[in-house]
Each structure stands twice: as structure tokens, then as C-alpha cells.
Chains A and B, each alone.
Chain A
Amino acid sequence: MAKSYIPLLIILGVTVLNAAGMAAASHILNPRRPTPQKAMPYESGMIPLGDTRHRFSIKFYMVAISFIVFDLETIFLVPWAVRVRELGWGPFVAVFFFVVVLAVGLVYEWKKGGLEWE
């Protein structure tokens, strides 16, 4: 079945060429008249104060960690999902408990305030 992946390589190549071509075409064709004002980050017309590389809210990390847990859960469900009718009730109960365990985790995170955005 490896043959069926060849078109994917072709379309990947076409897309890369397209992205590179777009960037290159505008790089060649556009004028460049830089001034100090143009080279300043646009922050609503204010002169930027301080640096962007600051610490930011831990909420974003929390979301990322929860995402990994539940995205992995989704992937673990796929092999069972495509064979659910052949597998029958035994695996269904097993998956049910798997989902319940993770749901309890979600409830815990919820109650601890991990999903709150103020």
C-alpha cells in the first residue's frame, strides 16, 4: 500500500513550491524603502514600551497539558472505535471505565479552577 502515499508527497512538494514561490515573487517585485518608523512594531501608534518576551499566564500551559491528556485519549479511542461492532460488550465496558477515569480527572481540574479564565 506504500504506493498510495506517492500522491501525498507530490502535493506536499507542490505546496512547498507554492509557498516559496509566493514569498520569492513578492520579495523580487516589491519596492523596499525602509524608514525607522516602518521598522517599529505597530502597537496602536504608541512607541513600544519594554520587551515582548515577558512571562505570560500559566493558564496557557494548563490548557496545553490538558490538551495532551485528552488528545491522547482520542487517539486511544480510535482503534476501539473502528472495531466496536466486532469487539462487543467486553471492550465497551473497558473503554467506558477508561473514559470515566479521564472524566473524573476533568471534573477534578474543573473543581480546582483549572478551567477558569477570569
Chain B
Amino acid sequence: MGEMQELSTFWFVTVAAVKVVAVFTVVMGVVAYMTLAERRVSAFIQDRLGPNRVGPFGLLQPIADGIKNIIKEETMPGTAAKFYFVLGPALAIMPAVVTIAVIPFAAPLPTPVGTVDMVVADVPIGILYILALSSLAVYGIVLSGWASNNKYAFLGGLRASAQMISYEVALGLSVIAVLLLVGNVTLTETVWKQQQLGMWFVFPLSLAFVFFLISALAETNRLPFDMPEAESELITGYHTEYSAMKFSMFFIAEYAHVVTASALLATLFFGGWDIPFWTGDDMFRHESGWIRGFDEAGAPIPATPSVLITLLTLGAFCAKTGFFLLLYIWIRWTLPRFRYDQVMHLGWKVLLPGALGYVMLVAGTMLVLDQLEVPFGPVYGGVLTAVSGVTTLAFLLFVDRDRVIAGAHRKRNLARRRAGLPAEAGDPAVSS
């Protein structure tokens, strides 16, 4: 029971290949149906029907789109740099799919040949690998914008690079806050530490979650940060000159980034595959085998991997990731686009100093808690939650400064006052 059954090298490679193919297929399937979900949800939000003709509820629409994109004619500007023009979309699509390999998606699965980690590659560099590869995505966009030899595409590529590198700083710093609590850079340990703490990191690190969510939106070039393809200014930005399959490769890349970002949000801040309010699924690879936790003496308690737990945790992970996918669509069709200078100001003047200060605050709080010899558990997390909650509230009120939360109300009353009418009852702006 709980003894580590190591896979032999042959089975390790075979199982790895199976996992790669499975994960790749699932990601591509999710991407295809994200395009449909995006259109159906936007239709729902705008009180329309959306695509519902191809198959039941339009479910075959992604397949029809795919076929159409493959057999359509492609154009390429005569003045384009041909090699880089073709390389651009390929470079855009690769990092998005590769990064998902280090995200654990379920508890380990027992098989006749040994216990299999439910992560494509449990590499010791984990989060660093994600940070490194996701920043490669900017190359695809810049190269295709430059190679198109189109002024709008070029501007879109430039904007994309400046925006993505600006938000990468804030993204990296909010991940540092997670690393403080985890004490390692692997994502399997991130899940394990959240199980040990007894709460998901979204509570003790709430401000890091806010920063990460904003930066992830900016990194994936989704609204409200879709400067690189602001169609009212730049036609469609860096992919203006792309048509047919190369165009849809950019779309696949964008949605694959959204899937990866959602999976990361779920793993870093929402416990990954952890099922809430149940410790039966806690499992981690310790030196001696799979463990469930430590008893009072500090000795490891062995855990028993089972197929049922694997399936349940897989369901939990999919539910969490699916929630963030929907959140992405929801945000896109709710918020208007920022101006470019606003985007850069938010990144450099708000998120960067905020994240730096927050990392120091969390580290300081943790050291004080360790000084007081508070054990790593609910009390530890509770204190951090209180500190972070206050900080998050202060941050949101500072960023808002009565513009959004009380903004509409204020503006309406301002208009009423100009017109010589009394302000509406209960107006905070009048009493002050």
C-alpha cells in the first residue's frame, strides 16, 4: 500500500507518448469548441441566436470552419518576407500548446505497470518552463506583423510585443508570491501545498490572483487588452494579411493560450485538481512513495491511488478550467477596449509596483508567522488571507478612485446638478 511502483523506462516513454497524444487532442478539441462557445455565448449576451445550423445546436460548426479554412485560397502580399511570413503562425501556435505539458490535471492513476502521474511532464523546473515558453509567443506575433510588410500589421506587431513584455513582468511577480508559499517551482507541489494549507491560494494570495488574472488577459491579447488587433484602429493588427489556414492558426494559438492560462489559473490559485472540502484526494510523491500527509510525529501517511479518485479529480480540474474559459468569454463581451496608453500605464505604474510591494508584504507576513511558530495550516492561511484581503480591498479602491464602482452614479448626479436638479437620494458624492 502506497509503495512507489516506478515505471520502467519502456513504459515511461510509452505512457508519456499516450499522455502527449491525449492532452494534445483534448486541447485542440477544447480550442475548436471554444470558437463555437465564444460565438454562442456572445450571441446569448447580445440577445442573438448565434451559429445553430450546422449539426444539432451548431455543434458541427468548428469542423465546418476547419474544412473551409483548409480549402480556401491563401493570399500573401507580393512584398512580404516569405520565409518569416510562413514561420510566424507556426511560431505562434507552438508555445501555446507546449506549455500545458507541465500542468497536472488529476491525481495519480494506478495501472498494472505502475502508478502514472497525471501530468505530461513532471519536470523540476515547472513554472520557470511556463514563463520561459509563454514569452516565446511574442516572436510569432512580431515576426508575422513585420513580415507582412503592411503598416497596420507592423504597428499591431509592435504594440503586441510592448504589451506582452510589459505584462509579463507583472505576471512573473504574481507567480513569485505563489512560489513563496509553495517553496518549489513544480506545479505538482503547488497543488500539494494547497491541499496541505487546507485552502486554495486564491484566499491567502488574493491580490496575486487579481494581478495574475489581469496579466493573463493581457498576455493572451484578449479584450479588454486586445490592442494588437484593435480593429477600429489597425484593421486586425498583426494578422491582417493572413488568410485561410494561416489565419486560423493564429486563432488556434490565441485560444490555446486561453486554455493554458485558464489551466494555470486553476492550478496556481484554485487548487488544481484538488476537490474542495475533502482530504481523501490529497496525494503527493514523497521519497518513500505516495503520501496523504504527515502525522503529528512528522512521519508520512501513505496514500492509495485509485481510479475513482483520478476520475473525480480530473472532473474537478476540468470544471475549474472550464469556469475560467467561460470567464474569459464573459469578460470579452462585457468590457470595452482600453486605450493603448491606459494599457501601458496599468502595466508599469500600477501592476509592477503593486506586485513588488505585495511580494515583500507576503514574505514579511510569512516570516512573522514562522517566528511565532504558527504551523503551516488553516491558521497560517487565515492570517495571510486577512492581510491579503485588506490589501486587495485597498488596491481595488485605489485603482477605482470612484471611477467605476461609484462612477456611473457620480456622473449621473453631476449631470443632474448641472441641470439644476437635486441629486438622487443616497448619493455618496453629495454628502462628502
Q: Residues of A at under 8 Å CB distance from B?
A: 1, 3-8, 10-12, 14-16, 18-20, 22-23, 25-27, 29-34, 38-44, 48, 52-53, 56, 59-60, 63-64, 66-67, 70-71, 74-75, 77-78, 81-85, 88-89, 92, 95-96, 99, 102-103, 106, 110, 115-118
Given pairs A78-B128, A82-B184, A84-B366, 15 additional interface contacts (CB within 8 A)? A4-B122, A4-B123, A6-B13, A11-B120, A15-B94, A41-B148, A41-B149, A43-B152, A43-B235, A60-B162, A67-B165, A70-B352, A78-B176, A83-B183, A99-B360
Interface-facing stretch out of B17-25, B383-391, B395-403: B17-25
Tell me whether B58 is interfacial, beta carbon within 8 Å.
no
Tell yes or no: B226 within 8 A of A by CB: no
Contact A74/B165 with A23-B245, A25-B70, A30-B73 known, Cβ cut-off 8 Å: no
Residues of chain B at interface, number, CB under 8 A: 85
* 5 nearest CB pairs, A to B: A26-B245, A117-B341, A74-B172, A39-B78, A7-B16
> B151 touching A82 by the CB < 8 A rule?
no
Q: Contact check, A115 vs B345: say whether CB atoms are below 8 A apart.
A: yes
Known: A1-B124, A5-B121, A23-B86. A12 touches B77 (CB 8 A): no
Are B97 and A52 touching (Cβ within 8 A)?
Answer: no
The contact string, 1 if C-beta is below 8 Å from chain A, for chain B 350-391, is 001100100110011011001000000000000000000000
B183 touching A85, Cβ below 8 Å: yes
Binding site for A on B (CB under 8 A): 9, 12-13, 16-17, 19-21, 23-24, 28, 69-80, 86, 89-90, 93-94, 97-98, 101-102, 120-124, 128-129, 148-154, 158, 161-162, 165-166, 168-169, 172-173, 176, 179-180, 182-185, 235, 240-241, 244-246, 249, 340-341, 344-345, 348-349, 352-353, 356, 359-360, 363-364, 366-367, 370
Alpha-carbon gap, A7 to B9, bound state (A): 12
**Contact indicator B70/A26 (Cβ below 8 Å):** yes
Q: Which of A8, A18, A26 contacts B246 (CB 8 A)?
A: A26
Cβ-defined contact, A11 with B24, below 8 A: yes
Other-chain contact of A117, B76, B93, B344 (Cβ < 8 Å): B344
Find out whether the CB atom of B176 lies under 8 angstroms from the CB atom of A77.
Answer: yes
When chains A and B are docked, how far (Å) is the Cα of A103 from the Cα of B348? 11
Neighbouring B residues of A33 by C-beta, 8 Å: 73
Kindly list chain B residues whose C-beta atoms are within 8 Å of the C-beta of A110. 348-349
Q: A14-B20, A88-B367, A115-B345 are in contact. Are A19 and B360 (CB under 8 A)?
A: no
Q: Which residue of B lies closest to A74 (CB)?
A: B172
Cβ contacts A to B, 24 pairs, < 8 Å: A3-B12, A4-B122, A7-B120, A10-B17, A11-B24, A14-B24, A22-B245, A26-B70, A26-B72, A26-B244, A26-B246, A41-B148, A42-B235, A44-B152, A44-B235, A52-B149, A60-B162, A64-B165, A81-B359, A85-B183, A85-B366, A106-B352, A115-B349, A116-B341
Tell me the bound Cα distance from A67 to B348 in angstroms: 10
Which residues of chain A are near B21, meaning CB under 8 Å? 14
Q: How far is the CA of A64 from the CA of B138 in the complex (A)?
A: 12
Query: Within the assembled complex, what's the spacing in Å between the Cα atoms of A6 and B148?
Result: 36
Q: Are A82 and B169 in contact (CB under 8 A)?
A: no
How would you classify the secondary structure of chain A's contact residues: helix, strand, loop or mixed?
Answer: helix
**Contact between chains at B353 and A106 (CB < 8 Å):** yes
Query: Do the beta carbons of A11 and B101 come within 8 Å of each other?
Result: yes
Q: Which residues of B contact A39 (CB under 8 A)?
A: 75-78
Contacts of A20 in B (CB 8 A): 90
Check B245–A74 contact: CB distance below 8 A.
no
User: Which A residues lie within 8 Å of B121 (CB)?
Assistant: 4-8, 11
